[in-house]
Amino acid sequence: MPSSHAGGPRVLLRRLREIMAEQASAQTRLNKLVSVIAANMVAEVCSIYLQRAGDTLELFATEGLNREAVHRTRLKRGEGLVGLVAQDAAPLNLTNAPEHPNFSYRPETGEDPFRSFLGVPIVRGDRVFGVLTVQNKTARQYDEEEEEALLTISMVLAEIVAQGSLIDLAELDQPGMSPHRPALFHGEALAEGLSIGAVFHHEPRVKVERMIADDPVVELQRLEDALLSLRASVDAMLDSTELDLAGDTREVIEAYRLFAHDQGWRTRLRDAVRAGLTAEAAVERVQDETRMRINRTNDPYLRERLHDFDDLARRLVRHLAGGVAHSQSLPVGAVVVARAMGPAELLDYGRNKIAALVVEEATGTSHIAIVARSLGLPLVGGILGIADAARHGDIAVVDADSGEVHLRPVPDMLSAFEAKKALRAQRVARYATIRDEPAITRDGLRITLNMNAGLLVDLPHVVESGADGIGLFRTELQFMIGSTMPRLKDQTDFYREVFRSVGDRPIVFRTLDLGGDKVPSYGRTVREENPALGWRAIRIALDRPALLRYQVRALIAAAEGRPLKILLPMISEVSEFETAKMQIGREMDRARSKGAPLPAKLDIGTMVEVPSLLFELPQLLATADFISIGSNDLLQFVFAADRTNPAVARRYDSLSPAVLSLIRHVVTTAASMKRVDAISVCGEMAGRPLEAMALIGMGITGLSVQAASIGPVKMMIRSLDTRALKPEVTRLTSMPGSSARVALAAFAAENDVQVDRLG
């Protein structure tokens, strides 16, 4: 605020509280509010725009513009300067607004003479309710203190709007969405399982009744006391014998504890209290700013960690309010539905009450997904809008194998789901009967059926599923879930535990595939237009060889005389492979010179996921001990279609003639060099029984799949006769058409090949 206004934002907040306490209409109070803000900030214009249905922003009150424009001027989100502020959820500070490319002139407002513009979003949580603006005729830059003051006012205003006293919040609902009709939502299956139960809304947010502080000194002390209490509760969670946290779940909560002890967070909270907010309002203000800042980045890992920050903020407000844990009212067998959830909040509920989880913002690498998998809880993520559509007590059917959630299902749907659960149980029982049987076809062909893994929590599934070993261990996940770079000892201990857990079964360790969409929280984010094609995986390792050598050093030490298989990702030409192989050789020489135990045998292989490598296959097969076809990345590169983009992810079929021809080229080249046994396929293609059948028909004898796919794929293999399959696949590869899927499904049906999926 300008120095002439003693007391700064605290005086303005006090006046704001007085206006909102008046017994007057919402419009009268808004009119007074814009007048007071304009006077306090020496602004000639102050306006409030609020959200209406259909992503429309409506002028609700103004001081300085034409009053007749109120409730008449409307802008779409993204339209004009006001729409841009709402779209970006970020302040916009301009000295000459009409020159901005987004400026949209509205003659009815009479804003012609005004040059300077400052607009801030009216935000609560991750929801933008409107925009608050000030303007002046002179071309001036609003200073940082003025911008901070306007943000504080907008935060208080957002809370008032959210309470529904200024606008009917029902206007923001999806048109035509009845709260009584059945609804089907499609999301991402993050932790497998099928379940049915009553919806329980995960609503840990405590309603902040008092926004403006009477005594900042008292509020600062309340904040300090709550922070101490919060930190003690997180420490107690880690020490709990009831939860018995171990492995990756413990690492997740350890990282969470670091956030709770962050001094930068504490400083920002104290600054917000000193500006005139209560401790609770300060927490909300700082978290809204954190959310907006992270959402403006292109770092997916930071965005996933936002759930942990949200969790901490909500937990701190509960400590300030002296509230009890929300888990106490959770009924047994509930389907917990949330927009976002942190790992600590999930653990608060305990292990036995939750039937399934539906979390809008969860992804496969979210901490919530890691913990859910370790607890064996079905989890579906990536479903926008379900938290608004679901009501407490609604029946929800959660299919975390297919990623579907049915709200308020009709009786026929419930019957069908119960039948599916029974069928799934029967299939699981059938798979259990062949768990210890080899994956051998009816005509005697032995298929190596391995499992993909990346966390300690995955390792028991190797034995439980009957896998031959681990065909792909993603070592980068250890780096992703921690808050600091794992030290050499940490890596060695981790890999030693992996070896110990799988016994004599073989393991293939893929070196770090960091970069792209996998950036650790402690890593430096480099903006790239095409991160999947950028500085990642082996490219980082070759530019930073110490990173690769330290990892190899840890693997050699952890092997303790066992065979060691190392797989190199994202190799695009043979020279890269040979350079990396040389670095690995240096670490072997180092271990040998120190008299350390060496692996009984060292095999070095490469992923085939970059199309350029397909044109150097003879040279590659001459130097690599084995190769693994990474179907996920290879196919997205071949078809130039981002598999994470819903708009194009289904633009190609993995059983199209192009894919079959590509795989056949690899197999044929390997056969000419008598190296077919050195080839395997990992990725989603290998884990689907029909696709796996096609791969075997082309000569692939090694597959590495998710744990849940071991049973279905093994059942398919044991029912298959490759003598009839191979000529059929050869015929389909040369046939014109978009996909061989229908013909292969017909072949399976005619020859009694079991190609059912678990889900």
Amino acid making up residue 315: R
Amino acid making up residue 485: M
| CB atoms closer than 10 angstroms to residue 40 | 23
- Tell me the three state secondary structure of residue 547: helix
Active-site residue (options: 307, 367, 406, 461):
367
| CB atoms closer than 10 angstroms to residue 137 | 13
Active site annotation includes 367: yes
Active site annotation includes 682: yes
Q: Report which of 218, 208, 231 is spatially closest to residue 283, judged by C-alpha positions.
A: 208
Q: Report which of 323, 362, 306, 356 is spatially closest to residue 203, judged by C-alpha positions.
A: 323
- Spell out the residues 6+ positions from residue 279 whose beta carbon is closer than 8 angstroms to its own: 219, 220, 222, 223, 226, 269, 273, 320
Per DSSP (E only), the strands in 444-506 are 448-453, 470-474
Q: How far is CA 344 from CA 53, 364, 365, 397, 623, in A?
A: 35, 17, 16, 25, 48
Amino acid making up residue 227: L
Q: How many CA atoms lie within 13 A of 740 on its CB side?
A: 27
For 686-721, the DSSP string reads: HHSHHHHHHHHHTT--EEEE-HHHHHHHHHHHHT--
Residue 430, burial from CB neighbour count under 10 angstroms (0-12, 13-18, 19+): middle
Question: What's the rounded Cα separation, in Å, for the pair 547 and 544?
Answer: 6
Kind of pairing between the strands at 702-705 and 679-682: parallel
Q: Could you tell me if 512 and 538 are in contact, meaning their C-beta atoms sit under 8 angstroms apart?
A: no
Question: What's the rounded Cα separation, in Å, for the pair 353 and 336?
Answer: 10
Active-site residue (options: 307, 406, 461, 682):
682
Which residues are catalytic, by number?
Answer: 367, 682
